Amino acid sequence: MTPNGKRFTNEGSSYHDFVQAMVTACKGEPEVSAWLLCDHKALRNYGLGCVAPSPLPIGRHLKSGYLKRGQSVAELAKKIGIQPSVLEATVREFNQGACTGDDPAFGKGSKAYNRYQGDALVTPNPCVAPLESGPFYAIKLVVGDIGTFAGLVTDEKTRVLDASRKPIKGLYAVGNDAASVMGGNYPGAGITLGPALTFGYVAGLQLAKAEAASEVMLQVERREPVAISHHA
């Protein structure tokens, strides 16, 4: 939820979609941030952010201020600077649907991506359960970078293209150095690693061919015998 104490998106969405929604929800605010809440049972079962689940201790996170705790929702609200009545209303509204595995506001758990990340032992919705077992906890979320969809424009052979979309001789780019084939979307995990591995292989083949061609030209210039392969 944003600093005003209200939910703004499906928390089970990818971090890409979540942050886009957070930026929109915080428009006009001095800071783009949100709070992620859970109860004691969820914290010890799953952890929260950098806070590991049981049996690892949580004391150092409370001491550093990274993890906020309140014996009640109202007490937690005061710790994170939210009006207690507003946060209580938000949690109460969420719990009404969560008791039956529903999220009428944002449909948490309605997508395959959500359910894949959820707990299959929680039914009927692996992504939704009421917040009811105090104490209650929260961590602050802010925007961070993990990659980019910008980069050098390349062709299918990983050759970097100039302003006229012509290949620049000897220049190749893959990974985050190349413009993403996803165009800024996030269809699933590995959208940087998968293309990096695939096009890294393609680049390797192109460089190997270029090296072989250079060796042939060198042999021709030296008037040395050239081995010609008859295989495709």
Report the pLDDT value the prediction gives residue 225, as an integer from 0 to 100: 56
Residue with tokens 């495709």: 232
Report the pLDDT value the prediction gives residue 218, as an integer from 0 to 100: 60
Please give the helix or strand (H or E) that residue 138 lies within, else none.
strand 136-142
Partner residues linked to 172 by β-bridges: 159
User: Sign (positive/negative) of CA torsion 48, 53, 58, 64?
Assistant: negative
> How buried is 152 (Cβ within 10 angstroms: 0-12 exposed, 13-18 middle, 19+ buried)?
middle
Report the pLDDT value the prediction gives residue 231, as an integer from 0 to 100: 46
Per-residue pLDDT of the chain (232 residues; tens, 9 = 90+): 888 999 999 999 988 889 999 999 999 999 999 999 999 999 999 999 999 999 999 999 999 999 999 999 999 999 999 999 999 999 999 999 999 999 999 999 999 989 998 999 999 999 999 999 899 999 999 998 776 778 999 999 999 999 999 999 999 999 989 998 888 777 777 888 899 999 999 999 999 988 776 665 565 556 655 454 444 4
Give the 3-state secondary structure of residue 70: strand
Report the pLDDT value the prediction gives residue 192, as an integer from 0 to 100: 84
Report the pLDDT value the prediction gives residue 232, as an integer from 0 to 100: 41
Report the pLDDT value the prediction gives residue 185, as an integer from 0 to 100: 78
Determine contact, residues 95/131, Cβ cutoff 8 Å: yes
Give the 3-state secondary structure of residue 203: helix
Chain-centroid distance, C-alpha 21? 13
Report the pLDDT value the prediction gives residue 230, as an integer from 0 to 100: 47
Report the pLDDT value the prediction gives residue 95, as an integer from 0 to 100: 97
Please give the single-letter amino acid code of residue 42.
Answer: A
Determine contact, residues 36/48, Cβ cutoff 8 Å: yes
CA dihedral (9, 11, 14, 20) in degrees, to 10, reads 30
Q: Give the predicted TM-score (pTM) of the model.
A: 0.75
* Max Cα distance, the chain (Å): 88
Instruction: Report the C-alpha gap between 94 and 91 in whole angstroms.
Output: 5
Report the pLDDT value the prediction gives residue 100, as an integer from 0 to 100: 95
Determine contact, residues 210/196, Cβ cutoff 8 Å: no
Complete domains list, the chain, with CATH = 15-142 (3.90.700.10), 159-221 (no CATH)
Report the pLDDT value the prediction gives residue 179, as an integer from 0 to 100: 92
